Amino acid sequence: MGNTQYEDNDEIEIDLLELFFELKKKFLLILLAFVVGGAAFGLYSKLILVPKYSSTAMMYVLSKETTLTSLADLQIGSQLTQDYKVMITSRPVLQQVITDLNLEYDYEEFKEKLVIDNPKDTRILALSIEDADPNLAADIVNTVAKRSSEYIGEIMEMIPPKIVEEGIAAELPVTPNVMKNAVIGAALGAFLVCAFVVVKLITNDTIKTEEDVEKYLKISTLAEVPAKRNSSGKGGKR
pLDDT digits (tens, 9 = 90+) for 62-78: 655 544 444 444 455 56
* Per-residue confidence (pLDDT) for residue 230, from 0 to 100: 57
DSSP state of 64: T
* Per-residue confidence (pLDDT) for residue 23, from 0 to 100: 86
Q: How far is CA 113 from the centre of its chain?
A: 18
* Per-residue confidence (pLDDT) for residue 139, from 0 to 100: 95
Kindly report whether the global pTM for this prediction surpasses the value 0.75.
Answer: no
- Residue 139, exposed/middle/buried by CB under 10 A (0-12, 13-18, 19+)? buried
| Other beta carbons within 10 Å of 145 | 25
Q: Which of 4-8, 40-44, 73-77, 208-212 has the lowest mean pLDDT?
A: 4-8
Residue bearing the bigger pLDDT, 192 or 23: 192
What average pLDDT score do residues 41-51 get?
89
Asked if 127 contacts 64 with a C-beta cutoff of 8 angstroms, the reply is no
Q: Which of 1-10, 74-83, 190-199, 218-227 has the lowest mean pLDDT?
A: 1-10
Asked if residue 3 has pLDDT above 50, the reply is no
Helix axes 178-203, 27-47, angle to 10 degrees: 150
Asked if residue 21 has pLDDT above 70, the reply is yes
* Per-residue confidence (pLDDT) for residue 91, from 0 to 100: 94
**Phi-psi group of 90: left, alpha or beta (phi > 0 → left; psi -120 to 50 → alpha; rest → beta):** beta
* Per-residue confidence (pLDDT) for residue 84, from 0 to 100: 87
Asked if residue 190 has pLDDT above 70, the reply is yes
The two beta strands, 53-60 and 163-165, are: antiparallel
* Confidence bin at 22 (pLDDT 50/70/90): confident
Asked if 178 contacts 46 with a C-beta cutoff of 8 angstroms, the reply is yes
What would the pLDDT profile of 153-169 be if each residue is shown by its tens digit? 888 877 888 899 999 99
Asked if residue 127 has pLDDT above 60, the reply is yes
Asked if 170 contacts 89 with a C-beta cutoff of 8 angstroms, the reply is no
Asked if residue 150 has pLDDT above 60, the reply is yes
Length of the chain, please? 238
d(CA 83, CA 67): 18
* Per-residue confidence (pLDDT) for residue 74, from 0 to 100: 46
Dihedral sign for Cα 80, 86, 91, 96, please: positive
What average pLDDT score do residues 27-52 get?
91
Q: Which amino acid is at 201?
A: L
Strand partners, 236: 227
* Per-residue confidence (pLDDT) for residue 227, from 0 to 100: 58
Asked if residue 110 has pLDDT above 90, the reply is yes
d(CA 84, CA 125): 8
What average pLDDT score do residues 175-187 get?
91
